[in-house]
A and B are shown apart, each in its own frame.
Chain A
């Protein structure tokens, strides 16, 4: 029988992989994918605690986050395509126009 600890461990692992991906990867598409990982880590967390406490609200939250992630992926990819058309690159370290 899987305890809550297993779920939390899985969630934590996914979260750390996602965070490391966001912070370290240069390709923005990979960064977006890493963000999906983080969101799914949160989903697992929510669903696990929903099952543990028998409260369905957690699962509803998870569904919202999935919808949100889909929308976010669509908008993010749109921005990346627009950016690529301008700069012919999708590398994050070349996106430095925001600095002073």
Chain B
């Protein structure tokens, strides 16, 4: 009994402390170093934060270069497919453009009417496209497919005025918020992430709810809906501004019928298609 326990201890000690010919560090030393790194990262000591920002910038730049070959191959495949479908797509686009023109004119009318009514009712501020807040145009440089965090990296950081908490738009639709800003780069948490919670209001119904990410690429869910409330397809979901953080009236998501004929929710901004995003303070309730 005692012998087998000794063998076990010897084997563990051997695995932890023994260095083979080409090993510069022992396992024990590196495990301690890892624990120290995690602790310092958790404590957020100022010098660690700045070191992490520099490390982040360096690793992100290298990661961009490392991902370039695969990105090029995917780009070539996409471009090839696009060329083959050009004529058909063109027809669809012309039809869509006519429809959009009609919708645009209609929305201009609603916008004017809305402004007038809000003035009449003396309601608070909403998302104002013409305000002169900081607007930074950024390019998505990395989009790591991770089970833990649905996020992407943009090529603008504190140098360009990007700070934590700024809202990020893709084609005028809310896509996420900045959760980490380094000197040259920043990380954006997507609305589809499991950690994302946005107070929203449903088009037409005026029902309030919380829009949460599902952790999947395009899936979203609505929480705290009234009992026996049924969702209709093609309903636009707007931010309600009840959190006091985001402004009201930002278009976030829409409902649709999925392949199984069930009502699902998807973000209006497709994170998979986004390439250029707008980082701004204008979506705030400030």
A binds B: no
